[in-house]
Amino acid sequence: MIKSTLGIAKEPFNRSDLTLLPQQKAIVDILKIHAQQGGFSVIVGEPGVGKSVLREHIESFGTERDVTVVSCSRTLHTYLQVLQQLADSFKIESATNNLEKNLIQQAFNHVRERKTLYIVIDEAHLLDMHVLRKLRLLFEQFPKKHSLILLGQRDLLYYLSMMVNQDIKSRITYSASLVPLNDGDLESYIVRELENVRLGINTFDSGAIEIILRAAQGNLRLCRNLCYGSLIEACRETKKIVTITHVNSVLVQPHWRSHEELIKQQVR
């Protein structure tokens, strides 16, 4: 509906076409350097600030000839189940009792082929620390030319700061925090998304932009969802300009309302 109404070939604010923001690009550049020396990196941030985009970009390195990326995102599992995810990502089949040995062997095989190995564990704050400790011991046996990257919410750093987990924290070579974006960066993101599909920057009028920035509060995911929802509302009316009315049509939906507003509504 959006493409036919606006006369464009692809939709803006579509997750299939991701572009790194400046703070994400800076983190990726440093991760690449640490990967050459056997890095152990921790990237934290609140939901919606860009960790998933960062993970997907790192996973895209796997298309390069000299890079192998192993990814695990289902972290609410036992140690063996996490190992099986890693084995699946390595595309190896192994009996349970040989999983660790075969993973180590496969890692050495990739490094012998002069490949850099990235191991990405998403939602790492959900990992049981006992499981993380076992993984740390496993990765100690991996060749030095690999990079272990933990992505998670800020709770991850809190857990790692406990005295009992100092053996893990002391091995971190790089850490970064993805912070909410300022209004200027969010507006630049909106403009870039529109330009990428050859839409004018006036597709969202100034009033609509102001409300979107106020509602998103620096959260990239909320900004993207609100922009996309507002575009849908405008196209439903066969309008080519998103106005305050269209943005408000999205903001009245229950999941955009604050808890206080919902409670007051129930009382009335």
* pTM beyond 0.95, yes or no: no
Q: What is the pLDDT along the chain (268 residues), one digit of tens a residue?
A: 888 888 888 888 876 666 788 889 999 999 988 888 788 999 999 988 889 889 989 988 888 888 888 888 888 888 888 888 888 888 888 888 888 999 999 888 888 888 888 999 999 999 888 998 898 888 888 887 788 999 999 899 899 888 888 888 998 999 999 999 899 999 999 999 999 889 999 999 999 999 999 999 999 999 999 999 999 999 999 999 999 999 999 999 988 877 556 555 544 4
Provide the residue count of the chain: 268
Are residues 13 and 234 in contact, defined by beta-carbon separation less than 8 angstroms? no
- DSSP type of residue 154: T
Cα–Cα distance, 82 to 72 (Å, whole number): 7
Determine the distance from the C-alpha atom of residue 211 to the mean position of all C-alpha atoms in its chain, rounded to a whole number. 25
Residue type present at position 219: N
Domains and CATH numbers, the chain: 2-12+181-267 (1.10.8), 22-178 (3.40.50.300)
